[in-house]
Structure 1
Amino acid sequence: MAFNQDPFDKLIQKLEAFANKQPHLYKLHVAFLATLGYAYIFLVLAVTLALLAGIIFLMLNAQSVNAFSLKGVLFLLAFALVLLRSLWVSFPPPTGLPLQPKDVPNLYSLINEISSKLQAPRFHHILLTNDFNAGVVQRPRLGLLGWQQNYLIVGLPLMLALPPEQFRAVLAHELGHLSGNHSRFSGWIYRQRETWYRIIKGLRQGGNEVSSLIFDRFLTWYSPFFNAYSFVLARMDEYEADRCAVELSGEQNAAEALINVEVKARFIERYFWSSIYKQVETEIEPPKMTYMAMQQALSQRLHQEITSSYLMEALTKKTNNADTHPCLTDRLKALGYIFNPQQELAIFAPIEISAAQKLLGNRLEKLIAHFSQAWREEIATPWRQKYADFQQSIATLKDLNQKAKTQQLTLDEATQRAFLIFKFDGEEAVIPLLQEIIHRDAHHASANYLLGQILLNKQDTTGIEYIEKAMDKDSSIVIEGCQIICYFLHQQGKINEVKSYQKRVENYYELILKAGQERSHVRGNDKFESHTVSDIEVNKLRQQLSHYPQVISAYLVQKNLQYFPEKPFYILALKRKVTFLEGIQEPDHSKLINSLLQENEFLGNVFIFILNNHLNMEKKLKRIPNSMIYQKKGKK
């Protein structure tokens, strides 16, 4: 049983009403579902062990042991071993730079204070990462049996972006998920959702046919049902964690932390890193102290136009059922915080002392140097490649300019030239070239889109028409295009028109969610058709498959889609060789699948799965013309 988005949304609405009307009964239902998963798994194991013990007992009390009994013992023993290996789901530890109390005493002191006030468990490890994020990870040492190892993960960019009081609010929110002061049950369910997600992923990635047969049917029903039933409680827990932040840091700090995180996360991703990567145009080597530059950028007041744009984008986003996290507007409303645009300047004022400076102390300089060097080493090779590509772009533009003097360029050449001129010379220089392209092809998506943005930057409302034409031609830019138009209309004070585009974005988000759901699985009742991959690409894929001795045969088809059918969704179904011993040891299908996904990017959106347990699916695929693209030599 798997929910499509519409039934899922309707179920969530019903459960929200149920939880509000009968909260205790709702929680009882959720608790029952949470324990049901464990009960099923241990019941299967108990029945297997009971059968094994029963057969051994009968053999010991029988006058003679026949071959049938011996085979039964061996089969059940092998089956029990498979189940035990399936249940021993390993959870790799999160990665990051370990922080020790002696090195950052102020940070540990703050964490211990918050943990004590919230009655949260102690952390075994505190890791510093390069993410703009903070979070709590509980890693069960014994798989399903628990014995949690607690990790607190904090991102250096986040600590650089927030003053200490707001970072305190962020930590209080994260530790609030483990708090013993509030709803222990909600916190437990919150953790169970995370644990079950990882357990199910581990069981399915184990790839063993026997354990798959036992668990798949149950998990196919249980996983989406538990996810839906606990969804309301998980969202309530997010609000509860926000209240923990208010308790320990105050309403204003908690609210401003939420706002700052939304805005500065966008600033880091879209503006800061963009400016860093722009240096590849002139520098053959990446910069040395990137995180020092990040510290300087985040400590200053951000450009008001940038902050206003990012803030409006965050405030217009609506809560949806794709994520348990509520949107920014709903979270601020729940805190009782009324945002006043006049407060914007105060919220984004320069930071005198960042959380990183106060809590990391004398170690900050070394940590900045460490992350800068790590980033530089990681990016060095692709950076040099991009530098070479940029130099090639200069040469290409030179050739196109020369050719344009003597003859008309093809539409593709004209487009390439226009975008290169925009890249090197800016907006004014490219306008006549874009107009010429649109004159030749009125519905040219990229030309209309770029010209529309340039005109809106000039406060010319005709830019909306060009962006609309581009969105009609290319659905992938609808959300971004609507957001660009929204920002322009908001500046013009046309609030009603802003709302219509916001509604359009919401509707499109729903389509994306439905499309994602449609492309997230392959089922026996799905309809397929012959693939449209070129012979050249199929031959490349066939050659790649020949390098995997365990692959016996392969089928390539396309799934019939209701949403965005113009974007093909390919199905690559593999039949692989699995010996009995490999069955006990659980062959790692995920390793094979991930390897193929990495090596065959030309397929684009592709779903790869193993056919061994799906004989009916194989029969169905065989009936589709040209579906079999590979068969191992000697196999028929």
Structure 2
Amino acid sequence: MLPTQSQSFPTGQKIKLILLAGLIEIFYLLLAAIPALLISAFSLFLYGPKIGLLIACALLIGIIWLLRPDPMDERHEVVLTPASDLHALVASLAAKLDAPPIHDIILTDDLNAAAYVAPGLFPGLGARRKLMLGVPLMHLLDADELKAVIAHELGHFSRKHSHMGHWLYRIRIKWGLNLLTPLHDEDGIIEGNQKLLAQRFIPYFLEQSSAWSYQCEYEADASAQSVGLAQPLVSALAKMEVHAYVWQQQIDERLRQWQLQSEHVPDDLFSHIFQTVSQQTSTAFQAALIYAEQRPRRLYDTHPPIQQRAKALNVNLAAPGFADRCAGEALLNAHWAEIQDAHRTRWLATHRDNWRFAHCHLQWLQNQAAQNPEDRRLQAIAAASLSHAPTALAPLQAVVAQQPDDAYLQYMLGSALLESEDEKGLQHLQLSIQLNKGMALPALRLITNWHIGRNSIALVTRSLTRLAAASRWVDGFFDDDLWKRFCTEPLQPLPQASRTLFARTMEGDARIDGCWVGSLQSKDIGGMRFTINMVVFRLDNSNLQSPGDSEDEMRALVTGLMRAISPPDELLHVKAVLFSEPFNPNLLQNLDKHPGVCIVRPKLPFNQNLVMVDL
């Protein structure tokens, strides 16, 4: 049972959680050490005990270093230069709370704050205590509210949550968020076993560790209360709830309109978001509280609801006020504008691709509706894609009621309902699978994500098992001769609406010198066939300059764009070829026979000064 107020965590439950976490860590270490154990055994046999043991020790040290505890991804974090008013505030609060000094203050791009210990080269050596503050959070809160949040985070150190708390958090991240994914044929033995173990034990561990996390949050809240900051802390929490509510209920629909209009994120997006949040009335605040109270608890939740936290602090919830001067401006002075600009640039770069995917998908749905004005199915789907409002979903629900045997309609309605937080969408997704097995993989992905976002261990485990089975079943349709067939068999071009949209998106990308998309029918398995969209694109090496230009990153980009303009029951296979790599002459001949499959015409020659041919 989750605690509803600050109280002593039961010793028996704590021991049970420690044993469970220790068992999971041992399994993780053993699975990660399998290659090292095999190499060590071979070295002992080949070189004798002395050299073999040296190799084994070196491998063990390497594994410990690779698995060293690091609860945070610091790739996009910015270390704030000391001597600011913010540093003085943190030092003063740490002294009042009897917390150890903070080594670094880190600025991130999240609406969040955290205090954690970053590891050194090896466990226990060179560790640094860090305070992480999100730039959006500093924009949302005033100085007193941010001070209360910092006191809460420092309370985790003063109450010594950092040892067990960070250990449990690392396990949650390492297993719960990264390995709760379906098994795949391309998984290695180690990764496959890790996923299998995660799907069996991690849902239960997430549920058990949430109780510990809740208790830690109540205690950290009490630390803020001890220095007279209970009221500003609750006000800060209230602002974050209003932000979440406004984003879900108001901004999300406007985002869809912006995404439909342009593949580029608007420059004034951030100012619009904060202006919308700051203009909320007390009525909207009450709606936000109801929204927070009704929000289902998830397996990976770590924080209690705001109502319970305010009650534990004996503070009445009230609509927060928004000051003219935010915390960032008050505490970082002249540096604040520069920090905001850098944050905006990073955020736009991080979300650029997902915005493009959403733009292409919405454009695809709207174009289909525009080209078929008499098709009520397409009109209803297009309307539902732009809004979660009941009035926007009503036409789609009416069409589904008239055509209940249409698997595509059932899938689209189920997806729209889940996006609007309506669990009735699960029934429609299940029905789409019954009507067309080809819908199994995309429908089960949505169903699984829904259950992972809730709190039923049995449903999470069951949906993960079904998703893994569907993934293995779909993999069977990709036969070994698929690329040979792509080089020799007739190819179907994309439908005109999809082709035009995909070409418009790809033609402006200087990194791509040639792109082709042709469709084949998969092999028959039990009377079932899939349409497989085969994509091959060539990368111009001279234009690959940024870290996001790697072959894998570009393949992920093309994959996302293609999925945005393809029906959910079609399969996709994407291949990238560098300009410096050989291009199969048989494939070139087949592509020339089917000019409709060419999306971007190449400008550079093929296979110059190359001897080998990629077959």
Per-residue displacement from partner, 1:564-608 (whole Å, max 9, x unpaired)? xxxxxxxxxxxxxxxxxxxxxxxxxxx99999999988899x9xx
Structure 1 Cα separation of the partners of residues 79 and 115 of structure 2: 14
Letter paired with 1:365 = A
CA RMSD of aligned residues (A): 6.0
* 1:85 paired residue number: 62
* 1:420 paired residue number: 382
- The more displaced of 22-31 and 219-228 is 219-228
Letter paired with 1:357 = E
1:396 is the counterpart of 2:375: no
Percentage of identical aligned residues: 19
Letter paired with 1:356 = G
* 1:499 paired residue number: none
Structure 1 Cα separation of the partners of residues 173 and 155 of structure 2: 21
Write out aligned runs for 1:485-564 (5 A).
Answer: 512-518=456-462, 531-533=472-474, 538-539=478-479
1:314 is the counterpart of 2:269: no
Structure 2 Cα separation of the partners of residues 203 and 447 of structure 1: 28
Letter paired with 1:337 = V
Q: Secondary structure at the match of 2:157?
A: coil
Query: 1:208 deviation in Å?
Result: 11
Letter paired with 1:415 = R
1:336 is the counterpart of 2:314: yes
* 2:157 paired residue number: 178
Structure 2 Cα separation of the partners of residues 37 and 384 of structure 1: 39
Per-residue displacement from partner, 1:133-169 (whole Å, max 9, x unpaired)? 1112311103333532222221121122222222222
Per-residue displacement from partner, 1:55-113 (whole Å, max 9, x unpaired)? xxxxxxxxxxxx979533343333332222211235464531222134xx222122112
1:247 is the counterpart of 2:234: no
1:126 is the counterpart of 2:105: yes
Structure 1 Cα separation of the partners of residues 302 and 388 of structure 2: 42
Q: 1:31 to 1:531 in 2, by over 3 A?
A: closer
Write out aligned runs for 1:342-357 (5 A).
Answer: 343=318, 347-357=319-329
Structure 1 Cα separation of the partners of residues 139 and 474 of structure 2: 47
Query: 1:312 deviation in Å?
Result: 0.7
Structure 1 Cα separation of the partners of residues 412 and 27 of structure 2: 57
Q: 1:445 to 1:307 in 2, by over 3 A?
A: farther
Q: Secondary structure at the match of 2:129?
A: strand
State TM-score, norm by structure 2: 0.57
Write out aligned runs for 1:604-619 (5 A).
Answer: none
Structure 2 Cα separation of the partners of residues 507 and 202 of structure 1: 14
Query: 1:528 deviation in Å?
Result: 6.5
Structure 1 Cα separation of the partners of residues 170 and 309 of structure 2: 25
Query: 1:363 deviation in Å?
Result: 2.0
Letter paired with 1:473 = H
Structure 1 Cα separation of the partners of residues 100 and 333 of structure 2: 25
Q: 1:137 to 1:435 in 2, by over 3 A?
A: closer
Asked whether the equivalents of residues 203 and 299 of structure 2 are also in contact (C-alpha less than 8 Å), the reply is no
Q: 1:68 to 1:373 in 2, by over 3 A?
A: closer
* 1:473 paired residue number: 428
1:290 is the counterpart of 2:234: no
Asked whether the equivalents of residues 319 and 327 of structure 1 are also in contact (C-alpha less than 8 Å), the reply is no
Write out aligned runs for 1:112-511 (5 A).
Answer: 112-179=91-158, 182=159, 184=160, 186-195=161-170, 232-268=211-247, 271-272=250-251, 274-276=253-255, 278-283=257-262, 285-298=264-277, 300-302=278-280, 306-317=284-295, 322-339=300-317, 343=318, 347-378=319-350, 395-401=367-373, 404=374, 413-420=375-382, 434=396, 437-438=399-400, 440-441=402-403, 445=410, 472-474=427-429
Letter paired with 1:101 = P
Asked whether the equivalents of residues 414 and 428 of structure 2 are also in contact (C-alpha less than 8 Å), the reply is no
Query: 1:243 deviation in Å?
Result: 0.7
Structure 2 Cα separation of the partners of residues 112 and 309 of structure 1: 38
Letter paired with 2:321 = A
Query: 1:381 deviation in Å?
Result: 6.4
Q: 1:379 to 1:451 in 2, by over 3 A?
A: closer
In structure 1, stretches of 5+ residues that fail to align are 1-11, 44-66, 405-412, 457-463, 478-505, 545-590, 607-636
Letter paired with 1:313 = Y
Asked whether the equivalents of residues 365 and 381 of structure 2 are also in contact (C-alpha less than 8 Å), the reply is no
Query: 1:313 deviation in Å?
Result: 1.6
* 2:76 paired residue number: 95
Query: 1:268 deviation in Å?
Result: 3.8
Asked whether the equivalents of residues 417 and 424 of structure 2 are also in contact (C-alpha less than 8 Å), the reply is no
Letter paired with 2:474 = V
Query: 1:241 deviation in Å?
Result: 0.6
Query: 1:400 deviation in Å?
Result: 0.9
In structure 2, stretches of 5+ residues that fail to align are 31-43, 180-186, 433-449, 485-549, 572-615
Asked whether the equivalents of residues 280 and 286 of structure 1 are also in contact (C-alpha less than 8 Å), the reply is yes
Query: 1:122 deviation in Å?
Result: 2.5
* 1:626 paired residue number: none
Per-residue displacement from partner, 1:416-458 (whole Å, max 9, x unpaired)? 12233567899899799557624622586478789999xx9xx
Structure 2 Cα separation of the partners of residues 295 and 301 of structure 1: 9
Letter paired with 2:128 = Q
Structure 1 Cα separation of the partners of residues 362 and 27 of structure 2: 58
Q: 1:196 to 1:437 in 2, by over 3 A?
A: closer
Query: 1:531 deviation in Å?
Result: 4.8
State TM-score, norm by structure 1: 0.55
Q: 1:598 to 1:162 in 2, by over 3 A?
A: same
The structure where helix makes up a greater share of residues is: 1
Letter paired with 2:81 = Q
Q: Secondary structure at the match of 1:373?
A: helix
Asked whether the equivalents of residues 231 and 324 of structure 1 are also in contact (C-alpha less than 8 Å), the reply is yes
Q: 1:76 to 1:117 in 2, by over 3 A?
A: same
Structure 2 Cα separation of the partners of residues 592 and 518 of structure 1: 35
Letter paired with 2:325 = I
Q: 1:514 to 1:141 in 2, by over 3 A?
A: same
Write out aligned runs for 1:26-65 (5 A).
Answer: none
Asked whether the equivalents of residues 172 and 245 of structure 1 are also in contact (C-alpha less than 8 Å), the reply is yes
Asked whether the equivalents of residues 79 and 210 of structure 1 are also in contact (C-alpha less than 8 Å), the reply is no
Query: 1:23 deviation in Å?
Result: 5.4
Asked whether the equivalents of residues 434 and 451 of structure 1 are also in contact (C-alpha less than 8 Å), the reply is no
Per-residue displacement from partner, 1:468-520 (whole Å, max 9, x unpaired)? 9766434699xxxxxxxxxxxxxxxxxxxxxxxxxxxx999767543333466
Structure 2 Cα separation of the partners of residues 372 and 147 of structure 1: 32
Letter paired with 2:379 = R
Structure 2 Cα separation of the partners of residues 25 and 450 of structure 1: 42
Structure 2 Cα separation of the partners of residues 245 and 305 of structure 1: 28
Query: 1:195 deviation in Å?
Result: 4.8
Q: Secondary structure at the match of 1:123?
A: coil
